[in-house]
Amino acid sequence: MGNFADFHARSINDRDAFWAEHAKRVEWKVQPKQICDYSNPPFAKWFVGGETNLCHNAVDRHLAERADQPALIFVSTETDTEKTYTYRELHAEVQRMAAILQDQGVVKGDRVLIYMPMIAEAAFAMLACVRLGAIHSVVFGGFASHSLATRIEDASPKVIISADAGSRGGKVVPYKPLLDDAIKLSAHKPAKVIMVDRQLAAFTPVAGRDLDYATERAKHMDAVVPCEWVESTHPSYTLYTSGTTGKPKGVQRDTGGYTVALAASMPHVFEGKPGGTFFCTSDIGWVVGHSYIIYGPLIGGMATILYEGLPIRPDGGIWWSLVEKYKVNVMFSAPTAIRVLKKQDPALLTKYDLSSLQALFLAGEPLDEPTAKWISEGLNGKAIIDNYWQTETGWPILSICNGVEKAPSKFGSPGKAIYGYNVKLVDDQTGEELTGANQKGVLTIEGPLPPGNLQTIWGDDARFVKTYWKTVPNKLVYSTFDWAVRDEDGYFFILGRTDDVINVAGHRLGTREIEESISSHPNVAEVAVVGVADQLKGQVAMAFAIAKDTSGLTDAAARLKLEGEVMKVVDSQLGAVARPSRVFFVSALPKTRSGKLLRRAIQAVAEGRDPGDLTTMDDPAALQQIMELVKA
Ligand code: ATP
Ligand code: MG
């Protein structure tokens, strides 16, 4: 066991030596000549001169030691399928997919767009692309034509890989009509579309464009497609941010830096060991899915579970049954999923043998204390590790790193700055660094960003510089656009996004602080707080809450009574300045497809403005309800 503070300090003060050591976790065709080239800030180049391949490190390199060990475990409770691929079998499937792409003329640097449900072929597709040095762009399968079309235009793929349909809660969701529409809408047209036919939804192939995956695969059963060695800085993929705050940004990732960062995170952050099993419940359409369903666990020589289905079907014990069956060691999910499970029978948590499980990691949005407590108690004291990061960073910025030094979690905190991240809290008005404990500021990272972080925005260097970077006294820093506070032990607490900060009569308050306070009322399941323009105070907080027990809330008087109680809670915990002007009770809150609260949209309708770009919104009815309540 090391000392985390020393480990972190070395990663900043002796940066190149630190990362040169970690570069040894990766197999290189040609060793890097320079660890970090930061001669053109804010653009950082990692492991310059090195040549490697992401697929080689995820698959081929393990063949010598673990060819017959499980690599990919595909489980679908939608189609009742379970299939395990060993590293040898995964290697064969990836080469078949790569051969199909080669037939279509896909070469290094070409883009391939992947619009697929959570099936094993999606993993083959991603790995086949990076094997060839082609740049994949995975678009979340839940997106409809318009969102898909903008991403097709931005990535301009030579080939698209898709499937007839996904399935959600037993209901078939056809993909093909959405894809056909999107291609019609897009100015860019792919030359070919490879269709995986799951026989869930009938479709008519477009002659001359659409190819049947099974037919093509049959031609390549013995395919041998070597890895294309690429420069460390060669892009491995592009991926869009969730679109919570506006137009999604096409994050571009390198190859060498990403491989090293993920390889190092497996032991240090996740304590994942070769031969173990990793279960990440995210979707391949999100960054967590890229890094911790596909690349991270495989680079680490683990088996990874790819799960298609809901967390509550056939019942709320399904995930825990998989932990038992596949002896899962590391699990990774999101607070939104745990809140779904919280509504299920708690006995489901004790029904299965979870002794293999070391820790449950949660990321993507604030982990509220009641949810953290519930899952922590339910899992009988196993480590619940909140970690904070972004699509842009590719791997966590804040977490506790039990693989470096065991440390306790604090409820409501995603832990400390991880090695490699030179995190600074800065005053958003003056740009001054805030070094004292318990000061609120914007969470920024001093350049260069560590390996694995975005290189730029795809095709738009200027937007990359303009969006994220600013000079504060003597420093060029990357802004996360999150507002945070650090306590005396170095633990961070995320208070909300910078555009969610409310200014009530000169007091700056994070929406997250008010939400935490409201959540502590026993009858509040979930809540969103936004700042609304107010003539007198500048801004006031307004809350939209989901009650746990709605049976007593049938009339206005009962709702007013609960509203009063909630306000009292905020008064006593944060003071009257934070008290929301109104607390409305709703049945659902508007979220992105990845489960993040769309405060931007709520705020807009609460102020009577147009909510803007809603392409990544999950359930439009939730916003409609808010609009009607506010109007009334
Ligand atoms: P866009 O950038 O398009 O508006 P987005 O920021 O929601 O979308 P992501 O990259 O998926 O897209 O999300 C990263 C953001 O999620 C972080 O900046 C932060 O606001 C939030 N977040 C992630 N993990 C945590 C966490 N553990 N605690 C609190 N917030 C988190
Ligand atoms: Mg963001």
Summarised one tens digit per residue, pLDDT across range 21-33 is 999 999 999 999 9
Share of the chain above pLDDT 70, in %: 100
CB 586 within 8 A of CB 562: no
Q: Which atom of ligand 1 is nearest to the CA of 246?
A: 4
Cα angle 39, 41, 46; round to 5 = 65
CA 259 to chain centre: 17
CA 142 – ligand 2 centroid, Å: 19
411-419: average pLDDT: 96
Ligand 1 pocket: which of 389, 423, 491, 594 to mutate (most atoms <8 Å of CB)? 389
CB-ligand 1 contact for 365 (6 Å cutoff): yes
Per the model's pLDDT, the better-predicted residue between 610 and 56 turns out to be 56
Q: How far is the CA of 482 from the centre of ligand 2 (A)?
A: 9
Q: Is 251 in the pocket of ligand 1 (CB under 6 A)?
A: no
**Cα separation, 292 vs 262, whole angstroms:** 9
pLDDT of the residue at 326: 98
Number of the ligand 1 atom closest to the C-alpha atom of 245: 4
Does the pLDDT of residue 335 top 90, yes or no?
A: yes
Residue 494 in contact with ligand 1 by CB distance below 6 A: yes
Q: Is the CB of 386 under 6 A from ligand 1?
A: yes
Other C-beta atoms within 10 Å of 30: how many?
12
Mean pLDDT of 437-452: 97
User: Over the stretch 571-584, which tens digit does the pLDDT of each residue have?
Assistant: 999 888 899 999 99
Task: Please report, as a single letter, which amino acid is at residue 169.
Answer: G
For ligand 1, atom 23, name the residue with the nearest CA: 364
Interval 261-287 mean pLDDT: 98
Q: What are 187-193's contacts with CB under 8 Å, separation 24+?
A: 187/153, 188/152, 188/153, 188/156, 188/157, 190/113, 190/152, 190/157, 190/158, 190/159, 190/160, 191/104, 191/105, 191/158, 191/159, 192/104, 192/158, 192/159, 192/160, 193/159, 193/160, 193/161, 193/162
Q: Which pLDDT belongs to residue 74? A: 98
| Least confidently predicted of 61-65, 185-189, 334-338, 533-537 | 533-537
Question: Is the CB–ligand 1 distance for residue 511 below 6 Å?
Answer: no
pLDDT, residue 594, reads 84
Residues in a beta bridge with 75: 82, 307
Q: Which atom of ligand 1 is nearest to the CA of 398?
A: 27
- Report the DSSP pairing between strands 469-472 and 502-504: unpaired
pLDDT tens, residue by residue, 353-401: 999 999 999 999 999 888 999 999 999 989 999 999 999 999 999 999 9
Q: Give the pairing of strands 250-253 and 230-231.
A: unpaired
Nearest CA to ligand 1 atom 21: 365
pLDDT of the residue at 1: 56
| 85-119 burial code (b ≥16 CB/10 A, e <16) | bbbbbbbbbbbbbbbbbbebebeeebbbbbbbbbb
What pLDDT is stored for residue 428 in this prediction?
A: 85
What integer pLDDT is reported at residue 247 of this predicted model? 74
Atom of ligand 1 nearest to the CA of 481: 18
Per the structure block, which two tokens stand in for 124? 């083959």
Q: Is 363 in the pocket of ligand 1 (CB under 6 A)?
A: yes
Average pLDDT of the chain, as a whole number: 95
The closest of 330, 333, 401 to 371, measured between CA atoms, is 333
Q: Which of 202, 207, 114 is nearest to 165 (CA)?
A: 202
Question: What separation in Å is there between the alpha carbon of 389 and the centre of ligand 1?
Answer: 7
From the CB of 409, is ligand 1 less than 6 Å away? no
Cα 31 to ligand 2 centre (Å): 34
Between 23-37, 442-456, 528-542, the lowest mean confidence (pLDDT) is in 528-542
In the numeric block, which tokens belong to residue 487?
A: 């306590």
Which token pair is 62? 């393990």
Is the CB–ligand 1 distance for residue 50 below 6 Å? no
Structure confidence by residue, pLDDT tens digits, 34-77: 999 999 999 999 999 999 999 999 999 999 999 999 999 999 99
Nearest of 266, 245, 262, 244 to residue 253 by alpha carbon = 262
CA distance 63 to 436: 50
150 and 194 Cβ atoms separated by less than 8 Å: no
DSSP state, residue 89: H
C-beta separation of 248 from 454 below 8 A: no
CA of 569 to the centre of ligand 2 (A): 31
In short, whether 242's Cβ falls inside 6 Å of ligand 1 is: yes
pLDDT at residue 137, as a whole number: 98
Distance 59 CA to ligand 1 centre (A): 30
Round to whole Å and give the CA distance between 129 and 307. Answer: 21
Of ligand 1's atoms, which has the minimum distance to the CA of residue 414? Answer: 27
Q: Is 248 in the pocket of ligand 1 (CB under 6 A)?
A: yes
Higher pLDDT, 504 or 453: 453
**Rounded to a whole number, what is the largest CA-CA distance in the chain?**
74
H-run or E-run covering 445:
strand 440-446
Whether residue 57 has its Cβ less than 6 Å from ligand 1: no
- Pocket flag, ligand 1, residue 512 (CB < 6 Å): no
- Using alpha carbons only, give the angle 243, 500, 367 rounded to the nearest 5 degrees: 75
Closest CA to 311 of 583, 518, 75: 75
Q: How is 555-577 classified by DSSP, letter by letter?
A: SHHHHHHHHHHHHHHHHHHH-GG
Contact yes or no for 386/367 (Cβ under 8 A): yes
CA angle 378, 383, 386 (to 5 degrees): 100
- The answer to whether the peptide bond before residue 267 is cis (omega within 30 degrees of 0) is no
Q: Is the pLDDT of residue 92 over 70?
A: yes
Q: Which of 253, 482, 483 to mutate to test the pocket of ligand 1 (most atoms within 8 A of CB)?
A: 482
Q: Does residue 501 register a pLDDT over 90?
A: no
Instruction: Please choose, from the candidates 275, 244, 243, the residue with its C-alpha nearest in 3D space to the C-alpha of residue 87.
Output: 275
| Separation of alpha carbons 167 and 538, rounded Å | 47
Can you tell me whether residue 85 is helix, strand or coil? strand
